[in-house]
Structures are given as structure tokens and as C-alpha cells.
Amino acid sequence: MMRRPKSLDSVAASIQPLEASTAGNTDNRQPSKEVLELWRSADAVCFDVDSTVCVDEGIDELAEFCGAGKAVAEWTARAMGGSVPFEEALSARLSLFKPSLAQVQDFLDKRPPRISPGIEELVKKLMARNTDVYLISGGFRQMINPVASILGIPQENIFANQLLFGSSGEFLGFDANEPTSRSGGKATAVQQIRKVKGYKALVMIGDGATDLE
């Protein structure tokens, strides 16, 4: 399979350590030839956001800002490991601190996105090669829009969740109609993208169970 990447409808690949690497070498970040070929043949690359494009888990940072960091982080670890349905973990985490619109806006003002090293350069190179770039996240659009702006990714290339607020800015919940609000949702988003765009080779990059799906 890895020798014929162009024949695949979609490919999931991870960075492999060099064969020459030793057990004591922790700098195993050099991609294999097969992985490099997958990058070169990709029509589109989809990135997870939290702990991938950004160094932080957005919901954990927002919860910490609102005073509920530890309890929410424990739920995040369970969600990333796939031990509970994503929609259950998302609802449980939000119910622990119920952020208001004012709190979210204050958070965004005081805590700008921390982009992972090298991501801006990578996205620029992909776009220069006419490779389309998407953000597919279980996080929230309110927090991902600034990230997309930094990277020059258009709004229509974002698949993420939406926090809902009342007329006074009180927390109401999240939009359950967004595909990424539930387990299997990122796969659904990728399928929607491929159906519309007709990509032959699409790469998904992420760090959690929902990305593996």
C-alpha cells in the first residue's frame, strides 16, 4: 500500500523513525521516503487543530481560564484516547464550566493562539504547491477562526464545533448538527470534502482517536 500512494482514495500515515536511529536517540522526526511521497502526492491535507496545529488543547485552556482546568483536562484525555464517545466527553467538559460569551471573548483577547513550530511554513509550502489545506477539529470555531486567519486558511475550509449563547451571552451548549461534535465526525467531514472536491489522495494529520477514525 505504501509503495502505491497514488492508487489510494485516502491515506493515513505517521512519521516513521530513521532505521539508523538508536534507542537512545529521541530526535526521530525525519520522515521515511514513503511518508514524503505521500505528502508530495496529496491533493489536500487536513489538520487537526488542538495539540497539532496549536500546541495546546483549546478547551483545556479555556476551562483553565474559567477556573475548571484540571477536571476538564481529565475528560479531554479520555476523549483523545477514545474510551468514551466524543459527544459525551464534549458535553461533560462544557457542563463543568459553562463558558459565557464574555468569558470566551476575554480569553481570546488575553490568550492568542500558540501555533506549533513549523506549521506556518508548512502550510505556506503546501499552498504554494496548490495543495488545499483544511482544519478539521473537535474544538470551537470561535477559537479556531483566529488560527485559520494566521495561517491564511479560508473559512470554508474549516470543520469545527460551534458554541451557542443566549441573548444575554449566557452559555446554552453546542451545535450538535456539526459533524465534528460526535464520534466519527471527522471521518464524515473528510468524506464530505472528498465528495465535493473529488480529491484522489487526501492526508489527515492529528494526534487523537477522532483523527484515527
Mean pLDDT computed over 41-66 = 96
Predicted confidence (pLDDT) at residue 25 exceeds the cutoff of 90: no
| pLDDT band, very low/low/confident/very high, at 28 (cuts 50, 70, 90) | low
Q: Is 31 helix (H, G, I), strand (E, B) or coil?
A: coil
Strand order in the sheet with 158-161: 158-161, 132-140, 44-47, 202-205
Predicted confidence (pLDDT) at residue 18 exceeds the cutoff of 90: no
Mean pLDDT lowest among 8-22, 33-47, 104-118: 8-22
Mean pLDDT lowest among 25-29, 63-67, 141-145: 25-29
Residues known to be catalytic: 48, 50
| pLDDT band, very low/low/confident/very high, at 75 (cuts 50, 70, 90) | confident
Mean pLDDT, the chain, integer = 87
What confidence tens digit (pLDDT) does each residue in 180-198 have? Answer: 999 999 999 999 999 999 9
What is the structure's pLDDT at 179?
Answer: 95
Mean pLDDT computed over 5-28 = 43
What is the structure's pLDDT at 27?
Answer: 59
196/18: higher pLDDT: 196
Domain 33-211 top-level CATH class: alpha beta
What confidence tens digit (pLDDT) does each residue in 105-144 have? Answer: 999 999 999 999 999 999 999 999 999 999 999 999 999 9
Mean pLDDT computed over 76-89 = 84
177 burial via Cβ count (<10 Å: 0-12, 13-18, 19+) = exposed
What percent of the chain lies above the pLDDT cut of 90?
74
136/77: higher pLDDT: 136
| pLDDT band, very low/low/confident/very high, at 90 (cuts 50, 70, 90) | very high
